[in-house]
């Protein structure tokens, strides 16, 4: 288990064009990158719950299929968190959920992350000719 600063630094190594894409265990049309897998494995005792929410929430799936993109922000405050999904960080979210307990570390506040949030992108993509939703870190886009 890494603290927020260690995890943040570890995730910076993942850049666009990574070779491995992973499929969600239940929703095969929801895929994620190596960096997102690293986050899910290393955030607290694991944060696969985040992928489960993103892969199964109907309002999120519908939005991605219609608009093609969404910004995911996870703001951890102690042992609780706020998960929001929106078109952009400056508009009201299309989805928001309070996570009552998490051991996910808080994201560090840095010049490139002044709000101290974990940020992910959801994007409509294709695996061959099959449409998928791809979850990635901003630096993997």
For residue 12, the model assigns a pLDDT of 93
For residue 1, the model assigns a pLDDT of 67
Residue 79 has what DSSP assignment? T
The stretches of the chain forming alpha helices (DSSP H) are 4-11, 34-42, 48-56, 58-67
Please compute the mean of the pLDDT values over residues 79-104 and round it to a whole number: 93
Report the alpha-carbon distance of residue 132 to residue 65 in Å, rounded: 9
The answer, yes or no, to whether residue 17 has pLDDT greater than 90, is no
For residue 8, the model assigns a pLDDT of 95
For residue 127, the model assigns a pLDDT of 87
Is there a contact between 122 and 27 (Cβ–Cβ < 8 Å)? no
Q: What is the crossing angle of helices 48-56 and 34-42, to 10°? A: 120
The answer, yes or no, to whether residue 87 has pLDDT greater than 80, is yes
Please compute the mean of the pLDDT values over residues 20-34 and round it to a whole number: 95
For residue 18, the model assigns a pLDDT of 66
Report the alpha-carbon distance of residue 95 to residue 72 in Å, rounded: 9
Please compute the mean of the pLDDT values over residues 105-115 and round it to a whole number: 95
């Amino acid at each position: 288990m890494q603290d927020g600063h260690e995890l943040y630094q570890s995730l910076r190594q993942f850049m666009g064009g990574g070779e491995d894409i992973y499929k969600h265990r239940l929703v095969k049309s929801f895929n994620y990158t190596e960096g997102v897998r690293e986050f899910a494995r290393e955030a607290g005792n694991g944060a696969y719950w985040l992928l489960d929410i993103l892969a199964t929430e109907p309002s999120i799936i519908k939005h991605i299929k219609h608009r093609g993109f969404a910004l995911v922000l996870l703001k951890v405050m102690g042992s609780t968190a706020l998960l929001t999904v929106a078109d952009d960080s400056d508009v009201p979210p299309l989805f928001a959920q309070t996570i009552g307990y998490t051991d996910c570390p808080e994201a560090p506040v840095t010049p490139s992350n002044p709000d101290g949030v974990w940020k992910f992108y959801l994007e409509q993509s294709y695996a061959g000719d099959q449409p998928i939703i791809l979850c990635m870190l901003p630096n993997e886009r």
